[in-house]
Every structure is written in structure tokens, then in C-alpha cells.
Structure 1
Amino acid sequence: MATKEIRKTSLAEMKDRYIGKEGTPERDSYEYELKMEVLGKMIKSARKERNMTQEQLGKLIGVQKSQISKLETSANSATIDTIIKVFKALEAEINFHVKMEDNFVKLA
């Protein structure tokens, strides 16, 4: 009886196979959406840590509760200005890293 070799597949290999190789429009879109989802979860987590409702946070930054809800489920429609206002209202530090080829620009 021949033994069957079990090969583990990495997450990167799965993404390459089912979404597309790095640098392809499909993969870039996937990675962007994933980052926006994580950002939304971070906003929600920070808000809850501050014992704040969506309505209270919205009032602090001048938007409706529904806008906060949209940010928390997916921040991809938010402007950088809005995201900065949200984290300032939550008294949370936010940093942006911009990569240009092999150089990083760090904004705090």
C-alpha cells in the first residue's frame, strides 16, 4: 500500500490560487477590502472600549449614527479626514504608513 503525501498549503498559496497573484487587480481589491474591514472592526472595538454608542460618536464628529454603522461594517467609503476625526474622538492614536517602492513615509 502506497503512502499518500500530505502537503500543507499556505494562506499565501491559497490566495494566489483562488484570488489571484499579488499585484493583480483582483488580489489588490481583495487586500484593500480586507484592510477596510479590519479598520472598521478597530473603530467598533475602540468605541466599545470607550463605552460609547454609535450615536454618541457620531455627535462628536458631526455625522449621523448610520455613518458610524457604515464605518464599522466597512470603512471603504470613509475619507481619511473622517477616520482621523473618529480616532481623535475616541482618544486613540492612529498612524499611516505609505510605501512608495522601497521607501516608507510615516504619518502620525
Structure 2
Amino acid sequence: MKTYTLEEVQDKLIGKKGTPERDLFEYELQIDLIGDAIKKTRIERQLTQEELGKQIGVQRAQISRLENHTGNVTLETLIKVFAALRAKVTLQIEL
């Protein structure tokens, strides 16, 4: 029986790195991870979506969309959310 590395499986099922399919997958994965981190931290801080929304000036529905990765979000909103959650934000850009 042949074994495969994770990268080989990803290349086969999702596409090789640098292809539009793989780029989209990795982008969506990052968005999912950010939403999950926000929800987990919000719950740990014992805040409702409505309370967090009020702190940053958006409605509860916007927080829900952010946590459930169903809408677009600006970098400004993300920074406000993480500041309200007392989270340290580090932005790394590689070109």
C-alpha cells in the first residue's frame, strides 16, 4: 500500500500551491480560522455577540457573519474586534 504526504494529498485534491483553486482554499481557511478565534475568545471573555457589537459600533448580525465566515469584513473592523477582545494583533505580510 502506497502512503502519501499531506502536501501530496492537498496538491491532488485542492490543487498545487500557486493555482487559483489552492489560493482560494487557503484564503477561505484563514477566514475560517479568524472567525473561529473571534468566537472562542468572545465566549471566553463572556461576551454576547450583541455586547461585542455594541463595543465596536456594529450590530450583532455583523459579529455573527464574522464568526460564521458568511460576509466580507474590513481590516478596520477586525482590528476593532480584536481590540475589544483585548487580543494582541500582529500583521505579517510577505511579498
Identify which of 71, 74, 80 aligns with 1:79. Answer: 74
Matched, 1:54 2:67: no
Structure with the greater alpha carbon radius of gyration: 1
Contact 1:16–1:22 under 8 Å retained in 2: yes
Percent identity of the aligned residues? 48
How many correspondences in the alignment?
A: 95
Provide structure 1 residue ranges, at least 5 long, that are not aligned to the other structure: 1-5, 101-108
CA RMSD in angstroms comes to: 1.2
Q: Distance in 2 between matches of 1:8 and 1:44?
A: 36
Q: Does 1:95 align with 2:94?
A: no
What runs of 5+ residues in structure 2 fail to find an aligned partner? none
CA change 1:44–1:50 in 2 (3 A) is same
Which runs of 4 or more aligned residues in structure 1 lie more than 4 Å from their structure 2 counterparts after TM superposition?
Answer: none
Q: Which of the two has greater strand per residue?
A: 1
Look up the match of 1:10. 5
Q: TM-score, normalised by structure 1?
A: 0.84
Q: Which residue of 2 aligns with 1:39?
A: 34
Q: SS of the residue aligned with 2:83?
A: helix
TM-score w.r.t. the length of structure 2 is 0.94
